Structure 1
Amino acid sequence: MEEIRTLIREHVDPKFTHVARNIPYGKQEIDYKDIAAVVEVLQSDFLTQGSRIAEFEKAFAEYIGARYAVAVSNGTAALHLAALALNVNESSNVITTPITFAASANCIRYCGGKVTFADIDPQTATLDINKVRALLEASPRGTYTGIIPVDYAGYPVNLEAFRKLADEYGLWIIEDACHAPGGYFIDSKGEKQFCGNGKLAELAIFSFHPVKHIACGEGGMITTNDPVLYDRLLLLRTHGITKDPEKLQENHGGWYYEMQYLGLNYRLTDFQAALGITQLKKADKGLARRREIARYYAEKFEGTNVDFSVAVNVEGHAYHLFVIKVKNRKQLYDKLRENHIYAQVHYIPVHTLPYYQGLGYQKGQYPLSEAFYEVCLSLPMYPSLTQEDLDFVIQTVLKYA
């Protein structure tokens, strides 16, 4: 194993490689410890359904502050299972934001439910609680069944306020915290409420896509404090099958299992979990660097025509993205790419996508989301972004913005 570790160190050491400057908006950070952890699992007896899954789940739950965590194959699977666990069906009507990746809404459609969008708060680009309240007040009680707020760009939604509103109308909450592991807001008692800690939402979901804080290649996690939901999720992610003797209706022997739900194969592999464990150990350091980069961007854009007001300098922000607003967005986007800076747009409003247009949603329904989309641009934001590259990004933005 030590020979493998030495070989890995040599191949990931920067002095052994030279890459032309290409600066993406997000990027995984993999070192020899990550690679060695994966190699160790690849040489073990179990590639999937081994001990690393439970180890990763336990470590992640502790990091977030939740009682339970369930590892799954990706963030979309996490959303789908969360919806299934909450019994979303054809009679369900769920409120979410247009400014998110489509999966935040699609998970409801997978279960046959209806999606209703509410517009954003333009200052944070997150779901506007006042717009949600207006929807609820304008409809008969029982029209809506749940809310999916999204911690957009890493901005921690005030779930205390959403919880109060949800309780008033008998709704559940799924917190889409894919952008915000380690993020938090300060509640009315002055306490930190970490994204996904299970205290204010029935379920929360996270993604381990390479551009996220914790990279597993693909992967996701569901967190909750509810033991009933936890048990249901464990079944749903593995075909609805259990071999637990205490839960079997019959028991024919050690080989026997029962399918008790119509579940899915949404399992994470052991080697992905091993990568997640080593990535999690670097999470606080990476988050600190993200916040440092955000402060530097803000300092350099202060007093310029670059609008960086979208939730910047917010305590507890996890900064998956650093979003600016510029009127000449397309021109700036193209100029940045010419300079090998691969900024990105997050997001095309979900209700304007052809599938949702086919369901009757129309452009113009959510004007604040559409206006935000016309000017938003996500600049490079990842822990391994060098100071030289960061300065180059800023200079290029200021030159063409």
Structure 2
Amino acid sequence: MNSEPSTQNKPIPYGRQHITQDDIDAVIETLQSDFLTQGPKVAEFEQAFASYVGARYAVAVSNGTAALHLCAMALGVNEESRVITTPITFVASANCVRYCGGTVEFADINPATALLDINKVRALLESKPKGYYTGIIPVDFAGNTVNLEEFRKLADKYGLWLIEDACHAPGGYFTDSKGQKQLCGNGNYADLAIFSFHPVKHIATGEGGMITTNDEALYQKLLLYRTHGITRDPQLLEEDHGGWYMEMQELGYNYRIPDMLCALGVSQLKRADAGLARRRGIAKIYDAAFANAEGIEVLQTSPEALQGDSETGHAYHLYVIKVADRKGLYDFLRTHNIFAQVHYIPAHTMPYYRNLGYKKGDFPVAEAYYNECLSLPMYPSLTAEEQEFVIGKVKEFIG
């Protein structure tokens, strides 16, 4: 029997940040500058990111959850609001509505892609009078991109806004009905889009988030809400006492992001395309390895994100497989220092949402997906040897 690769003794997580000397130098330079927060690096990161996704405006904030909260605030979510989202997402996608007092309603997922099922959303909208719902929050789950053109048509028919949760998909895209690539977060279909810069994401700043939009009015609200609802803009002040004067015009939050994290973000963004290409290369190897493997099902790429065999708009934050004995495989991989993960526990099954009236059985497709899903290691610095080891151990267990 051949000996196993040396990687068996080195932990292989499902995701990992990649920090280079250029990243470190960028942070040190900012630490030695005049600004640690509210300085020029914030605007530089915002402008670079807006350009990267093709949006007019970008607002950097302290994390992705803060981004979602500010979006809900800017769109006027309140106690009378009812918002639809997917149960297969990190709970922040739903919680942002609750922060503003609104009601969250879930719709089930497409079993092939695990994305929010537009047909289930349509049925939900048709079941109530027009005006009952106020918005939809689709999620680019795992980096697989939602067809926002179709969601926009549905939203317009019922007078709804759209927030695109693109935390998993910077650099991802779908292809619209005219054959045009639509980058996640470009603002052409969603009113607002949000991103996260948590260490396991494509762009890592430690903590951090970004909101993108093409709507100037929403952009101005976001800037206000990000910093306590306070403005110093002379054109917006109701009074002017002097150069020191500022006004709190709305109840906002301290959701600012420091300059040193933005410096890291600017540096990371320069490698974003290379990192994305590497993720797609890793996915191709997994695809080939599991193509004919009995007992292993791979999530399908949404048709709008798949353009032939050589090009895809999938951003591959995660690589998800489904197996019958998920718990057994999870435990087996851990004994070999492979730390696969589960994404996600359906939000409606969490005690908080059960206390609001949801129960197991409400969304059978999402629950069936959860019972079988497992995210395998997926990050740019994953080596070929490590990936081969992971594939071998998955196949060994499935047997």
When the two structures are superposed, what TM-score results if normalisation uses the length of structure 1?
0.95
Amino acid at match of 1:341: I
Amino acid at match of 1:47: L
Query: Equivalences for 1:113-152 in 2 at 5 Å?
Result: 113-152=102-141
SS of the residue corresponding to residue 304 of structure 1 reads: coil
Find the partner of 1:266 among 243, 255, 277.
Answer: 255
CA contact (8 A) 2:145 2:314 kept: yes
CA contact (8 A) 2:8 2:389 kept: no
Instruction: Tell me the CA shift for residue 19 of structure 1.
Output: 11
CA contact (8 A) 1:243 1:256 kept: yes
Instruction: Tell me the CA shift for residue 308 of structure 1.
Output: 1.2
Q: C-alpha separation between the residues in 2 aligned to 1:212 and 1:234?
A: 24
Cα RMSD (Å) of the superposition?
1.2
Find the partner of 1:311 among 301, 305, 329.
Answer: 301
- 2:347 pairs with 1:358: no
1:377 counterpart residue number: 374
- 2:334 pairs with 1:337: yes
1:15 counterpart residue number: none
CA 1:98–1:292 in structure 2 vs 1: closer, same or farther (change >3 Å)? same
CA 1:319–1:239 in structure 2 vs 1: closer, same or farther (change >3 Å)? same
Instruction: Tell me the CA shift for residue 311 of structure 1.
Output: 2.2
1:89 counterpart residue number: 78
SS of the residue corresponding to residue 126 of structure 1 reads: coil
1:301 counterpart residue number: 290
2:275 counterpart residue number: 286
2:153 counterpart residue number: 164
Query: Equivalences for 1:377-396 in 2 at 5 Å?
Result: 377-396=374-393
Q: For residues 308-365 of structure 1, what are the alpha-carbon distances to aligned partners after superposition, in whole Å with 9 as ceiling and x for unaligned?
A: 1332893200000000000010000001001000000000000000000000101100
Identity, in percent, stands at 68
Q: For residues 162-186 of structure 1, what are the alpha-carbon distances to aligned partners after superposition, in whole Å with 9 as ceiling and x for unaligned?
A: 0000000000000000000000011
- 4+ aligned runs moved over 6 Å, structure 1: none
Q: For residues 133-190 of structure 1, what are the alpha-carbon distances to aligned partners after superposition, in whole Å with 9 as ceiling and x for unaligned?
A: 0001110111100000000000010000000000000000000000000000110000
CA contact (8 A) 1:322 1:381 kept: yes
SS of the residue corresponding to residue 288 of structure 2 reads: helix
2:52 counterpart residue number: 63
Find the partner of 1:77 among 63, 66, 69.
Answer: 66
SS of the residue corresponding to residue 206 of structure 1 reads: strand
Amino acid at match of 1:355: Y
1:205 counterpart residue number: 194
When the two structures are superposed, what TM-score results if normalisation uses the length of structure 2?
0.95
Residues matched between the structures, number: 384
Listed as ranges, the gaps of 5+ residues in structure 1 are 1-17
Find the partner of 1:224 among 200, 203, 213.
Answer: 213
Q: C-alpha separation between the residues in 1 aligned to 2:90 and 2:301?
A: 19
2:19 counterpart residue number: 30
CA contact (8 A) 1:141 1:169 kept: yes
- 2:28 pairs with 1:39: yes
SS of the residue corresponding to residue 297 of structure 2 reads: coil
Amino acid at match of 1:288: A
Q: C-alpha separation between the residues in 2 aligned to 1:382 and 1:376?
A: 18
Instruction: Tell me the CA shift for residue 400 of structure 1.
Output: 0.5
CA contact (8 A) 1:70 1:223 kept: yes
Q: C-alpha separation between the residues in 1 aligned to 2:8 and 2:189?
A: 45
CA contact (8 A) 1:99 1:348 kept: yes
Q: C-alpha separation between the residues in 1 aligned to 2:289 and 2:106?
A: 35
